[in-house]
Amino acid sequence: MKISEIKTLSTAELNARLRELNMELFNLRFSNASRNLASPVQIRNVKREIARVKTVIREKEIAAGGNDGR
């Protein structure tokens, strides 16, 4: 999913997508540990998409005047 597509999602949709990606990462890591993973690149791609989703969630928090972490 491209960053432009991610930015169009609502916060609830982003959180749902984040849960899906975390489950996918868990399953990929499990497959990798049992030597059934076809391509280890999949893990890297999922981790990058997780980072993209988290970045957009944080940008939306800041734009809404949310907590700045201090």
CATH for 55: 1.10.287.310
- Is the dihedral angle over the CA atoms 10, 12, 15, 21 positive or is it negative? negative
Identify the pLDDT of residue 37: 87
What local confidence, expressed as pLDDT, does residue 2 receive?
87
| Contact of 62 with 68, CB cutoff 8 Å | yes
Residue 53 placed within a domain: yes
Domain that holds residue 45: 3-63
Residue 13 tokens, joined: 């949709």
Among the residues of 1-70, which ranges form H helices?
Answer: 3-7, 11-33, 41-63
* pLDDT at residue number 70: 59
Residue 46 covered by a domain: yes
Instruction: Please check whether residue 70 lies inside any domain of the structure.
Output: no
Q: What is the pTM of this model?
A: 0.86
pLDDT for position 69: 63
Q: Is residue 34 part of a domain?
A: yes
pLDDT at position 51 is: 97
Q: Is residue 69 domain-resident? A: no
Q: Can you give the length of the chain in residues?
A: 70
Domain membership flag for residue 20: yes
Task: Enumerate residue ranges in the chain where pLDDT < 50.
Answer: none
Q: How many structural domains are present in the chain?
A: 1
